[in-house]
Amino acid sequence: MPELPEVETVARQLDNVLRNKKIIKIKVLREVSFKGEKKSLLGRVVRSVSRVAKMLVISFTRGDEVLVVHLKMTGQLVWRADDWNQEKMKQEVVGGHPTVDWMGDLPSKHTRVIISFRDGSRLFFNDLRVFGWMRVMKKLEWQKINAGLPLDVIDREFSLVYFENVLKRSKRAIKLVLMDQQKIGGLGNIYVNDALFKAGVDPRRPSNDLRKNEIKKLYKAIRDVITLGIKYGGATYSNFVAASGLGGLYQEHFLVYGKEGEKCKRCGNKIKKIMIGGRGSYYCKKCQS
DNA sequence: TGATATGTTATCTT
DNA sequence: CAAGATAACATATC
C-alpha cells in the first residue's frame, strides 16, 4: 500500500544503490507490467532515482528516456547485489507493499520484471495484483505529465491558501477530495483516514463546507501524519532486512485506519467503518463531526 | 464460495 | 460540458 511516504523512502534508498549502474538486461515476465520499448534502456547508466507524486522516476545519464514506476496497491521493488543470499542478506533494498516475497529467493511467483545491471545486481519488480507498471517514457512525455500534476502535500508551495482553494472548489465528501490525485498529490486511504481523525472532521462532510479553522486543523494534521509516515515508513525499507523486518513500523502508528470496533484513542468510543466512494473509511462518531 | 482489499482510470450518469 | 459516481483492472486472503 505504498503512499507518498513509502514511495519517498524507496526512492531515496534506490537512489543510493542504483546510481551509476548500467542496465544490461531487462526481462519482462508479465507483459502488462512493462510498457514501452525496453531495448531503449539497454546500456543506459542510472543518473538518479526520485519520487513524483506516488511515482518513482529513474533517469539516465544519456538518452531521451526515463523509466517511471507506479507501484499502485501491491507493487514492490527489491534490489539485490550479486552476492546476495538468504543467510547473509547483505546488500539489499526493498520497498513497497510488504509481502513474504521479499524474504526468499527471487524471482518469485509475483515477479513481473527483472532489471539486471552490469555489476551483477538486479532490481525485481514484484506485483501481486498486477495493477502497477513500469513505463519507458520520452522526457517530453514525462514533462507533460509533470506539468499537469497538482502539488504534493509535502511540497514547499503547498500552502494553507492553496489547500483552502482546492477544498472550496468541490462539494464532494472531504475524504474523496483529499484522496483525489488530480487535486492533491500523495495522500492515500490510510493517511487520509488518520488525518481526518486527527483534525476531528467527519469524512463525509462536503469539502466546501469546512470552516476556516477546520481547514487549518486539517492542513496541519495532514502534514503531521505524512511526516510521521516518512519517519516510521523509513523503517519499513531498510538496507539490511532481518527476518523480523517484514512489514513496517508505521502500521503501529495508525490512528483509525483498519481499526473498526476498536476503541477511539481519544474518547474510547468504538471506531466505525463506512464506505465512501467504494473505499473503507474509519472514523470516530464522537470525535469527528 | 463470496466478500473484501491499499490506487488509478475509463466510462457511465447526473 | 463538467462534476460526480461507479465499475474495472488481477489476484490473494479471510
Residue keyed to cell 490512528: A255
- What the block records as the C-alpha cell of A266 is 481519544
Residue A55: φ, ψ to 5°:
-105, 150
pLDDT in tens, A162-210: 999 999 999 889 999 999 888 898 888 888 898 999 999 999 999 999 9
A252, A190 Cβ separation under 8 angstroms? no
For residues A205 and A139, what is the distance between their CA atoms, to the nearest angstrom?
A: 40
pLDDT in tens, A259-269: 888 889 999 99
If pLDDT is split at 50, 70 and 90, which confidence band does A241 have?
very low
A6 is catalytic: no
Q: By mean pLDDT, which of A11-20, A145-154, A229-238 is the weakest?
A: A229-238
From the list A54, A80, A198, A259, the catalytic residue is: A54
pLDDT score of A24: 97
pLDDT score of A215: 95
Measured N-to-C along each axis, helices A160-168 and A212-236 cross at an angle, to the nearest 10 degrees, of 110
**Residue A207: Cβ within 10 Å count:** 21
Residue type, A217: K
Q: Helix/strand/coil (H, E, C) string of chain A? A: CCCHHHHHHHHHHHHHHHCCCEEEEEEECCHHHEECCHHHHCCCEEEEEEEECCEEEEEECCCCEEEEEECCCCEEEEEECCCCCCCCCCCEEEEECCCHHHHCCCCCCCEEEEEEECCCCEEEEEECCCCCEEEEEEHHHHHHHHHCCCCECCCCCCCHHHHHHHHHCCCCEHHHHHHCCCCCECCCHHHHHHHHHHHCCCCCCEHHHCCHHHHHHHHHHHHHHHHHHHHHHHHHCCCCCCHHHCCCHHHHHCCCCCCCCCECCCCCCEEEEEEECCEEEEEECCCCC
A279 is catalytic: yes
Q: Which nucleotide is nearest to A182 (CA to C1')?
A: B8
If pLDDT is split at 50, 70 and 90, which confidence band does A95 have?
low
Q: Which nucleotide is nearest to A72 (CA to C1')?
A: B7
CA of A156 to C1' of B3 (A): 42
Q: Which nucleotide is nearest to A277 (CA to C1')?
A: C5
Q: By mean pLDDT, which of A19-33, A245-259, A270-284 is the weakest?
A: A245-259
Q: Which nucleotide is nearest to A30 (CA to C1')?
A: C10
Residue closest to sugar C1' of C10 by CA? A129
Among A288, A183, A163, smallest CA distance to A223 is for: A163
Which bases of chain B are under 7 A from a protein CB atom? 4-9
Question: Measured over all CA atoms, what is the biggest interatomic distance in chain A, rounded to whole angstroms?
Answer: 59
pLDDT higher than 50, residue A242: no
A3 is catalytic: yes
Measured N-to-C along each axis, helices A212-236 and A189-199 cross at an angle, to the nearest 10 degrees, of 140
**Residue A84: Cβ within 10 Å count:** 18
Among A71, A35, A53, A67, smallest CA distance to A147 is for: A53
Q: Which nucleotide is nearest to A281 (CA to C1')?
A: B6
A65 is catalytic: no
Model-wide pTM > 0.85:
yes
Residue A124: φ, ψ to 5°:
-105, 130
CA of A131 to C1' of C9 (A): 7
A102, A88 Cβ separation under 8 angstroms? no
CA of A111 to C1' of B14 (A): 42
If pLDDT is split at 50, 70 and 90, which confidence band does A85 have?
low
Residue keyed to cell 533517469: A59
CA of A201 to C1' of B7 (A): 23
From the list A172, A216, A231, A279, the catalytic residue is: A279
Which bases of chain C are under 7 A from a protein CB atom? 3-12
Q: Which residues touch strand C (CB under 7 A)?
A: A 32, 109-110, 128-131, 169-173, 176, 277-278
